[in-house]
């Protein structure tokens, strides 16, 4: 796996039509030369054992109404790992990431479910490329899967039926698209229920990835975006969502060596 990812990175750097620009941008973004951007292994001491995705989802859902998105995903894992694995999980402060709710204290940036999931991924896995690949797959899953899909055994707020496709991992846009689909405002039981179920969906997908990794069968489904190089700015290919037809060109700026 590791070899495969490293290989794809190498071939990207050597075969891209914008090789030099690519290296220059990768360098300025990563603050090092492209060589130093290679993956490396690490050990956090946090161990993982395979979990039942449905159970992780259920615990995440139940935690949501107190802990909100980021910490609820973390709770879905920690509440089981501290019993099944023990060790450092026993003292893990589930609420340490609660601030990431609402895209960081309500700022609408990255959906907190992904901050929570990424934290667990980074703690359990042991190679920077694995974490990167899982986070990338999760961003694709989050952005292009109709959600919420999770169905609680006992509904804690209210029944909802509408699903939407976020198209992005950005909290504000994701929530906004669901609100538009469901015709509900933000401060409603329906919207809270939606985010609780999305948190469960993301926790479940994360469990499936970590289980595969534990089995030695995790394989990245998606290529890295590498849009920093393609678009000249950290991004998806969704410029029109915000800029309309008036997309600014990064070529205007002197900061990118070519």
Smallest gap from Cβ 115 to ligand HEC, in A, equals: 17
Contacts of 240 (CB under 8 A, 6+ apart): 247
Residue 28 contacts ligand HEC per CB under 6 A: no
Contact residue for ligand HEC among 6, 136, 250, 256 (CB under 6 A): 250
Q: Which two tokens stand for residue 36?
A: 């130093």
Is residue 21 within the footprint of ligand HEC (CB under 6 A)? no
Residue 210 or 229 having the CB closest to ligand HEC = 229
Of 1, 109, 212, 239, the one binding ligand HEC (CB under 6 A) is 239
Tell me the C-alpha distance between 95 and 108, whole Å. Answer: 19
Neighbours of 154 (CB within 10 A): 7
Is 257 a residue that touches ligand HEC (CB under 6 A)?
no
Contact 39, 129 (CB under 8 A): yes
Q: Does 52 bind ligand HEC (CB under 6 A)?
A: no
Residue 104 sits in the site that holds ligand HEC (CB under 6 A): no
CA distances from 235 to 23, 46, 238 (A): 17, 32, 8
Q: Does 243 bind ligand HEC (CB under 6 A)?
A: yes
Interface pick for ligand HEC out of 29, 96, 155, 242 (rule CB under 6 A):
242
Interface mask toward ligand HEC for 164-193; x: CB under 6 A: ------x-----------------------
Only segment of 13-21, 138-146, 174-182, 227-235 that touches ligand HEC (CB under 6 A): 227-235
**CA–CA gap between residue 139 and residue 202 (Å, rounded):** 10
Q: How far is the CB of 180 from ligand HEC (least distance, A)?
A: 16
Distance CA(235)–CA(248), nearest Å, equals 13
Does the footprint of ligand HEC cover residue 235 (CB under 6 A)? yes
Cβ atoms of 1 and 39 within 8 Å: the answer is no
Residue 25 gets the label, from left (phi > 0), alpha (psi -120 to 50) or beta, of: alpha
Interface pick for ligand HEC out of 86, 87, 93, 248 (rule CB under 6 A): 248
Q: How far apart are the first and last CA of the chain?
A: 32
Binding-site ranges for ligand HEC (CB under 6 A): 170, 231, 233, 235, 237-239, 241-243, 247-248, 250
């Amino acid at each position: 796996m590791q070899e495969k990812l490293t290989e794809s990175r190498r071939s990207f750097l050597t075969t891209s039509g914008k090789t030099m620009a690519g290296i220059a941008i990768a360098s300025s973004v990563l603050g090092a030369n492209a060589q130093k951007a290679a993956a490396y292994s690490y050990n956090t001491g946090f161990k993982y054992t395979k979990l039942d995705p449905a159970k992780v989802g259920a615990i995440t859902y139940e935690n949501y109404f107190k802990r909100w998105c980021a910490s609820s995903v973390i709770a879905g894992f920690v509440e089981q790992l501290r019993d099944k694995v023990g060790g450092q999980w026993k003292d893990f402060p589930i609420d340490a990431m609660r601030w990431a709710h609402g895209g960081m204290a309500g700022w609408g940036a990255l959906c907190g479910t992904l901050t929570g999931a990424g934290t667990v991924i980074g703690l359990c896995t042991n190679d920077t490329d694995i974490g990167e690949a899982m986070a990338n797959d999760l961003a694709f899953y989050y952005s292009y899967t109709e959600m919420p899909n999770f169905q609680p055994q006992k509904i804690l707020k209210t029944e909802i039926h509408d699903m939407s496709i976020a198209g992005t991992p950005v909290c504000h846009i994701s929530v906004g698209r669901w609100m538009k689909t469901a015709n509900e405002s933000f401060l409603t039981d329906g919207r809270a229920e939606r985010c609780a179920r999305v948190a469960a969906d993301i926790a479940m997908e994360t469990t499936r990835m970590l289980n595969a990794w534990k089995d030695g069968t995790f394989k990245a489904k998606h290529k890295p975006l590498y849009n920093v190089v393609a678009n000249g700015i950290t991004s998806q290919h969704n410029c029109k969502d915000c800029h309309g037809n008036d997309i600014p060109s990064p070529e205007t700026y002197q900061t990118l060596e070519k």
